[in-house]
Amino acid sequence: MKIENIKDINKFFQVIDSCKGKVELVTGEGDRLNLKSKLSQYVSLANIFSDGSIKELELVAYEPEDTQKLINYMINQ
């Protein structure tokens, strides 16, 4: 799933942390980072803010309810 225009990164990571299954960030090179890992979250933040914007993220959620949580976050942000 592609996610765009994240306005509240802290809330976004709260939603990620509340997911039951694995949630991965897919990089432009095809690498997959486990976003439930705090280290991966920090690396992602550093990468995101290196150019000052969040254009688009590609996420993979392995549990259907986690996918729905992420969709709800994007609708309600």
pLDDT digits (tens, 9 = 90+) for 9-50: 888 889 999 999 999 988 778 888 898 998 888 877 776 666
Domain residue limits, the chain: 2-76
**Can you read off the two tokens belonging to residue 61?**
């959620």
Q: With 0-12 CB in 10 A as exposed, 13-18 as middle and 19+ as buried, what is 23?
A: buried
For position 50, what pLDDT does the model report? 66
pLDDT of residue 29: 80
CATH number for the domain running over 2-76: 3.30.1340
The 10s digit of each residue's pLDDT in 64-76 is 999 999 999 988 8
CA dihedral sign of residues 43, 48, 49, 50: positive
